[in-house]
Amino acid sequence: MKKSIEAIRNKEMGSCRVSRIFTIPQTTLEQKNSSEIVETKLGRKQVLPCEAENDVAEHCLLMERKFFGLTMADVMCLSYQLAVRNGIKNQFCRRTEKAGKISYVIIHTISVRTPEGLSLSRARGFTPELVT
């Protein structure tokens, strides 16, 4: 029993394989080894570092404050350009020069939607004195 738990804790084998080799039920091994839980992340790995994602999110918010709405395609192109200029290894489409669907839009609570047109006179009307 001690050898099996040491094998799991040293990450030599997984609990399923240890249970087959040592003929110990997998649930028993998991209960004995519950003091050390190994977390695994499923899905694709993060392409852009957190700092780069924060830069893209801040840029999107800045453009929104300046009344220049960005579409999802604009954000995807921006992410691709950021990755290429910083030399970040990626799996983005080189033909269309766009990133794939991006998850940090949800993480940073940015809603990317179809921007509406805004006339110059209406944009000038958004001064703090007139809005409040």
Look at residues 19, 20, 40, 42 and name the one whose alpha carbon lies nearest to residue 31.
Answer: 19
Give residue 64's pLDDT band: very low, low, confident or very high (50, 70, 90): confident
* C-alpha–C-alpha distance, residues 39 and 44, integer Å: 15
Q: What is the mean pLDDT of residues 123-129?
A: 69
C-alpha to C-alpha distance for 111 and 113, rounded to whole angstroms: 6
Question: Counting beta carbons within 10 angstroms of the beta carbon of residue 85, is it exposed (0 to 12), middle (13 to 18) or buried (19 or more)?
Answer: exposed
Reported confidence tier of residue 69, pLDDT bands at 50, 70, 90: confident
**Amino acid residing at 18:** V
pLDDT reported for residue 109: 62
State pLDDT tens for residues 13-30: 888 888 888 888 888 877
16 exposure class (CB count in 10 Å sphere: 0-12, 13-18, 19+): exposed
pTM for this model (two decimals):
0.54
d(CA 107, CA 84): 22
Angstrom distance (rounded) from CA 36 to CA 121: 63
Is 111's pLDDT higher than 70? no
Phi, psi of 65 (to 5 degrees): -65, -30
Instruction: Determine the average pLDDT of the residues in 110-121.
Output: 71
Query: Does 63 have pLDDT greater than 60?
Result: yes
